[in-house]
Structure 1
C-alpha cells in the first residue's frame, strides 16, 4: 500500500490548546511542546491562531518554541475562514489539501471548517471543560468524564472531523486522518 499523504500544515488555537493560563501566568498545555517538536521533526509547518491583539498573543506564546509563528486575527472575526487562510499564507502553504486545524474553541473550529480544513476538536480544552475553573476542579472524576463526553458530542455536532481529549492523542488522530485522506476522503 502507498504511504499516506503528508500533511501540508497544522494550525493550532493558542489559548486553551497550546497555552493554558493559571493565575494569569501562561504555561504550555500538557503535550503541547512534545506535539510541536514531533511535527517539526517531521517537517510539518505549524502556526498558532488567536483573536487576541498581537501583543497579548505574543505574551502568551512566549512559553512556546521561538520557531513557532503566530497569527492574530486582524479584521474579520471567527467563524469567517479568513484567519485560517491568512495563517496558511504566513506559512507559504501552497494548497489547502492536507491542512489541519486543532482547537477546543468552537468558533475557531467552525472557521477551519469554513476554510475547507480538516478539523480536530480538543474536548478537554473546549469551553465545556474549563480545566482552570473552580467548578471543574470541584467535580468528581466521573463528573469530569461526563463533561468531556458532552464536550465531545458538542464538538462533533459542529461537524469537526475528529475529537480527542488532549494533545497527547494528536499523533494517533493525525494517523487516522492520513488514512482517511489516503482513501480519498476530503474535509
Structure 2
C-alpha cells in the first residue's frame, strides 16, 4: 500500500526573542534567571531537525550575552540591530543573513514582544506570539506560577487578543507548546497559506 502521508514542508529558520521568550522575562532584573519552560527542549528538537536558530534582543550585549549563557552555543546571537529599530524588519533580515538563509519561505519568528513580532510581520515571516511571558503579561515564570488560575486566564486572554489584533499567525502560552504549533504552521504551508 503506498504511503499517502503529505510531504509537509520543513522550516528554513527560526528566530526567537531572548528576554521573555528563550529566557525568563524576570531576567531583565535577575541576571541568573534561566531558560523559560520548554526553551531548551524546543531548541534541541530544532537542532535535531537541522533548523538553524538565532535570538534577537534590544538589550545591550553586556546584558543580553549573560542572559543567553544557558542557551546552546549553536543558537546564533544577533543582539541589537544595525539600522532601523523594531518594528522595522531590519533586525529579522539581519538575523536571517547571520544564519546564511537564502529565502524567507519557511522562516518563523517566536516572541512575546509585540514590537519584535511586528518586525517579523514586516519582514514577511510567520509569527508565533507567546501569551504568558514577555511584556504583555510582564511577569517572570515564578510570578506567573504564583497566580491563581483565574488571574492567569484573564492575563492570558488579554495578551492573546492583543497578539491576534497585531496580526500574528499563532499564539501559544510558552515554548512547551511550540512543537504542536509548528506542526500546525507546516500544515498551513502545505495547504498553500503564506504569511
Q: Residue 55 of structure 1 aligns to a residue in which SS?
A: helix
* Residue aligning to 2:53: 46
Under a length normalisation based on structure 2, what TM-score does the superposition of the two structures give? Answer: 0.90
| 1:37-116 superposed matches below 5 A | 37-72=44-79, 73-116=81-124
Structure 2 portions without partners, runs of 5+:
none
Partner Cα distance (2:18, 2:183) in 1 = 23
| 1:22-33 superposed matches below 5 A | 23-33=30-40
Partner Cα distance (2:15, 2:140) in 1 = 23
Verify the 8 A CA contact 2:107 2:125 in the aligned structure 1.
yes
For residues 86-133 of structure 1, give each alpha carbon's deviation from its aligned partner in whole angstroms, at most 9, with x where no partner exists. 000000001000000000000000000000000000001132222229
Q: Residue 27 of structure 1 aligns to a residue in which SS?
A: coil
Under a length normalisation based on structure 1, what TM-score does the superposition of the two structures give? Answer: 0.94
Q: Residue 109 of structure 1 aligns to a residue in which SS?
A: helix
Matched residue count: 187
Structure 1 portions without partners, runs of 5+:
none
Rate the CA distance shift 1:133–1:68 in 2: closer, same or farther, 3 A: closer
User: Per residue, is there more strand in 1 or in 2?
Assistant: 1
